[in-house]
C-alpha cells in the first residue's frame, strides 16, 4: 500500500557516500508536505533519522542528511559505516488524509 517509491537496495564500500531517493506524487510530496526518514536496524523498531526534510534529531550523526527540492527527495549517507546497514524508509502525508511510507531501501556495506 506504499505510495512513495524508493530503490529496493543501495550499496557502498566503507567511507563512501550513498543516496536514497523517495518519489511521490502531486497528492503528497508534490503537494508540499514534508518528508521524514527512518532507519530500521535488523530486528529492531524504526528510529527517526531526519524530520522536516532535512532536520536531524539530537544524537543522529551529521553523516546523515536529507534534502527536498520540488518533488525530488533524497537521503544521503556519507562516510558509510558497517553499522549503517539497515532498512531506510521515507514518510510523508497524503491529501487523502493518510500517512504514507516509502517502499523501503536496504543499505548494504560492502
- Specify the pairing of strand 9-12 against strand 105-109: parallel
Examine residue 101 and tell whether it contacts other proteins (CB under 8 A). yes
Q: What string marks each residue from 23 to 62 as x (binds other proteins by CB under 8 A) or -? A: ----------xx-x-x-----xxxxx--xx----x-----
Examine residue 88 and tell whether it contacts other proteins (CB under 8 A). no
What residue has cell string 531526519? 50
Examine residue 100 and tell whether it contacts other proteins (CB under 8 A). yes
| CA 25 – CA 30 distance, rounded (Å) | 5
The size of the interface with other proteins (CB under 8 A), counted in residues, is: 25
| CA 92 – CA 32 distance, rounded (Å) | 10
| CA 13 – CA 48 distance, rounded (Å) | 24
Footprint of other proteins (CB under 8 A): 1-2, 33-34, 36, 38, 44-48, 51-52, 57, 89, 91, 93, 97-104
Amino acid at each position: 500500500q506504499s505510495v512513495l517509491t524508493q530503490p529496493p537496495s543501495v550499496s557502498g564500500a566503507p567511507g563512501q557516500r550513498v543516496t536514497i531517493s523517495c518519489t511521490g506524487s502531486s497528492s503528497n510530496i508534490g503537494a508540499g508536505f514534508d518528508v521524514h526518514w527512518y532507519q530500521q536496524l535488523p530486528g529492531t523498531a524504526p528510529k527517526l533519522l531526519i524530520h522536516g526534510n532535512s532536520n536531524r534529531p539530537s544524537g543522529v550523526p551529521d553523516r546523515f542528511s536529507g534534502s527536498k527540492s520540488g518533488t525530488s527527495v533524497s537521503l544521503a549517507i556519507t562516510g558509510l559505516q558497517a553499522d549503517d546497514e539497515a532498512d531506510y524508509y521515507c514518510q510523508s502525508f497524503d491529501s487523502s488524509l493518510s500517512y504514507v511510507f516509502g517502499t523501503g531501501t536496504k543499505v548494504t556495506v560492502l
